[in-house]
């Protein structure tokens, strides 16, 4: 156990020494997998199920796709210290083709924005969704957790419709 802990500490120390921006690098490294699974999950849902809601109080699948787009654009812009893209405000009722394209575009924007992310700006002040000031680090943490949360939600919606989410499918 002590050897494992020592290896983890040494690996983390080596990683931090190898990169000037370890936090930004972790997000950039996570992006391709999050993008692949989330986009694939949204593509997996049949078009006629984009209005599906597990309960009346929850977002529909289409509304969840629109929420993912909004979250990606907001958090990635703040993490990368770049302006949010000028995009149509989607409600989630626009249809599968349009929503899938917009989800893909939001992840592509994240790649561009995170390429500019710099850990030296983590303490800078930004505004949250509520307009209140927060440190830029908040956007980094919120982005990583939103990717996990959003994928879990769309995966659950798929399962509730008898479909297997991408991360549960056999490797091709």
Q: What is the pLDDT of residues 6-47, one digit of tens each?
A: 455 555 555 554 578 999 999 999 999 999 999 999 999 999
Is the pLDDT confidence value at 3 over 70?
no
Backbone angles phi, psi at 135, to 5 degrees: -75, 150
Segment 92-113, tens digit of pLDDT: 999 999 999 999 999 999 999 9
**Entry pTM:** 0.88
Is the pLDDT confidence value at 116 over 60?
yes
Report the chain's C-alpha Rg in angstroms. 18
For residue 138, give every residue at least 6 positions away whose Cβ sits within 8 Å of its Cβ, in sequence order, or none. Answer: 126, 128
For the domain 24-166, what is the CATH code? Answer: 1.20.120.450
Q: How confident is the model at residue 171, as a pLDDT?
A: 83
Dihedral angle, C-alpha 146, 148, 153, 155, nearest 10 °: 150
Is the pLDDT confidence value at 54 over 70?
yes
Backbone angles phi, psi at 46, to 5 degrees: -60, 150
């Amino acid at each position: 156990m002590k050897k494992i802990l020592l290896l983890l500490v040494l690996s983390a120390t080596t990683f931090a020494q190898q990169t000037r921006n370890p936090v930004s690098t972790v997000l950039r490294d996570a992006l391709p997998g999050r993008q692949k699974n989330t986009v694939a999950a949204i593509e997996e849902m049949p078009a006629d199920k984009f209005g599906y809601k597990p309960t009346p109080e929850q977002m529909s699948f289409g509304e969840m796709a629109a929420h993912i787009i909004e979250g990606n654009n907001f958090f990635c812009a703040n993490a990368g210290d770049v302006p949010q893209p000028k995009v149509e405000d989607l409600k989630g009722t626009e249809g599968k083709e349009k929503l899938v394209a917009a989800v893909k575009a939001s992840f592509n924007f994240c790649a561009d924005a995170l390429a500019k992310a710099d850990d030296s700006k983590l303490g800078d002040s930004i505004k949250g969704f509520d307009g209140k000031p927060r440190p830029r680090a908040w956007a980094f943490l919120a982005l990583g957790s939103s990717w996990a949360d959003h994928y879990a939600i769309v995966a659950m919606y798929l399962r509730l419709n008898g479909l297997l989410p991408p991360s549960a499918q056999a490797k091709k």
